[in-house]
Amino acid sequence: MDYKKRCEFLEQRIKRLNAIGLALSTEEDTNKIFEMILEEARHITNADGRTLYMIDNENNLKFEIMRNDSMKTIMGGTSGVNIPFPPIKLKNDDGTENHSNVCAHVALSGEIKNIDDAYEEEGFDFSGTIAFDKNFGYRSKSFLNVPIKNHEDEIIGVMQLINATDKISGKTIPFSQDMQKQIISLASQGAVAITNKRLVKELKQLFEAFIKLIATAIDKKSEYTGGHCERVPEITMMLADAVEKTKVGKYKDFSMTEDERYELYIAGWLHDCGKVATPVHVVDKATKLETIYDRIENVQTRFEVLKRDFEIEYLKEKIKLIENGDFKLINDLKIKFQENLDQLDDDLQFVEKSNKGGEFMEQSAQERIKNIGKYKWNFKGKNQPFLSDLEIRNLNIPKGTLLPEEREIINDHIVITIDMLEKLPYPKKLRNVPEFAGGHHETLDGKGYPKGLTGDQMSVQAKMMAIADIYEALTASDRPYNDPKKLSHAMRIMGYMKNDYHIDEELFEIFVKEGVYKKYADKYLSNFQLDEVDEKSVLAK
């Protein structure tokens, strides 16, 4: 080859190496990367057979891709054809290193093995290769085995090329030193690409595991919210799938890329991360008087003290009547005593019932709590109000179990969530996570929290997450402040919320008509919750 042609040849070769380098750096699919490496190796050496091995978790060489042109073999990679051969063991049964197999030797030593003729090679056991050739009428001759090393100089695989072929004569030839150098360069490029993809994958797995760790910690922190952080992203993604399939209405053109779907999925897992800072006694406030413990026990004790005092007073009066011979008045005294006890028992039952919370507390019931609070009981020789002002406030909570300031603490979890999420240095593909996760308590009418956004200020993803969060909360069986609602009841409430512009009407319609609520219910709800839903009524305006 004259000088000019050689320069042109080298120029083309450099261009191809640059092209393959660019392709390897941009390709996401590891199988396609493997195939690119072997295809370029074929272009460089015109090798008839090409096999790529990677070291697996068992520390053996696993077949990833096999190609043989003359035998028309296409296995592994993106072919969809499984490679039936077991991995090559790097260690023998006795624990010694397996240096008899050439690929194992290369993986163990890091040496490059360029063999002109396997049948004449004395350093390695090619009996299996010879037997294969005999069975299939093939002749394995020249071999080039190159280790694939990562950035830490660790061997992660081996590339084996068989039978370099002269492009003019078609005869099998040895692998030249020039070919060897180029294959080493190619293996290095491939190793960098594979390692980078593995690192990205491993970091992604670590990131997801850390997110799920936080979510699990939040769920474990409160026995009443276990699984909420896991279930909300599942409902969200179910709804997202349904919205993407819709062909009519406002969202007929809505679609998400795989990156956007992943972004929404991560936001779903992180939507309540701020609860890690919410006090447990507020999150778990199952009754109105509960703090670290349920203070109803203190009130019950006071009732017992009052009953004891009534009994002591009754016995004292009875003794006086007996001493004075007023036996006729004893029965009246006993009746009055019993009436006092009955009244205290009735008051105690009323306080215990009020302590449990509910949907609504009548004004008359609140007045009765105040009157009970005016009772006097003796503690350490002093008469004191039966209920403190704070206890009266708690018992007179008209809905649920939380005081306004406690409700504010609960609501602050979303502020903390947004603050935490906005501090993270997201890659470009995840920059919307704070907005998606932080908007699930906003409402279309601008009366939600924490920012009071209106519908046109919210992303579709945040609106979907809002529906998922509400639906999960209504149907959950682990809430301290309400019993798990039947499906029809939960959907009726969401229908009201849709009419009050709390949730997006068209997204909710998709949620109902596409059966997203049913799909989730069948998987997570108890049998007694699975009643019939009047979808037409739920969707009515």
- Are 421 and 531 contained in the same domain? yes
Give the amino acid at 107: A
* Distance in angstroms (rounded) separating the CA atoms of residues 18 and 332: 108
CATH number of domain containing 148: 3.30.450.40
User: Does 406 map to a domain?
Assistant: no
- Are 154 and 192 contained in the same domain? yes
User: Does 209 map to a domain?
Assistant: no
- Are 127 and 239 contained in the same domain? no
Domain stops at, among 350, 377, 401 = 401
User: Does 325 map to a domain?
Assistant: yes
The residue among 404, 472, 462 whose CA lies nearest residue 436 is: 462
Domain stops at, among 368, 401, 434 = 401
User: Does 409 map to a domain?
Assistant: no
- Are 151 and 176 contained in the same domain? yes
**Cβ neighbourhood burial of 263 (10 Å; 0-12, 13-18, 19+):** buried
- Are 278 and 318 contained in the same domain? no
- Are 159 and 136 contained in the same domain? yes
3-state secondary structure of 1: coil
Question: What are residue 407's phi and psi, to 5 degrees?
Answer: -60, -35
- Are 89 and 179 contained in the same domain? yes
- Are 185 and 277 contained in the same domain? no
- Are 302 and 278 contained in the same domain? no
**Reported pTM:** 0.66
**Per-residue model confidence (pLDDT) at position 129:** 92
266 contacts 426 by C-beta, under 8 angstroms: no
- Are 360 and 473 contained in the same domain? no
Residue-number span of the structural domain to which 307 is assigned: 296-401
**Per-residue model confidence (pLDDT) at position 152:** 81
User: Does 205 map to a domain?
Assistant: no
**Per-residue model confidence (pLDDT) at position 13:** 63
Residues of the chain short of pLDDT 50, as ranges, are none
**Per-residue model confidence (pLDDT) at position 140:** 95
Which long-range CB contacts under 8 A does 245-251 form with residues at least 24 apart?
245/514, 246/510, 246/514, 249/506, 249/509, 249/510, 250/506, 251/460, 251/506, 251/507, 251/510
- Are 529 and 380 contained in the same domain? no
CATH number of domain containing 243: 1.10.3210.10
**Per-residue model confidence (pLDDT) at position 113:** 96
User: Does 453 map to a domain?
Assistant: yes
The residue among 274, 283, 257, 256 whose CA lies nearest residue 464 is: 256
* Distance in angstroms (rounded) separating the CA atoms of residues 512 and 467: 11
* Distance in angstroms (rounded) separating the CA atoms of residues 355 and 106: 75
User: Does 355 map to a domain?
Assistant: yes
**Per-residue model confidence (pLDDT) at position 369:** 92
**Per-residue model confidence (pLDDT) at position 211:** 86
* Distance in angstroms (rounded) separating the CA atoms of residues 160 and 126: 14
Domain stops at, among 342, 371, 401 = 401
- Are 25 and 143 contained in the same domain? yes
| Count of domains for the chain | 3
User: Does 191 map to a domain?
Assistant: yes
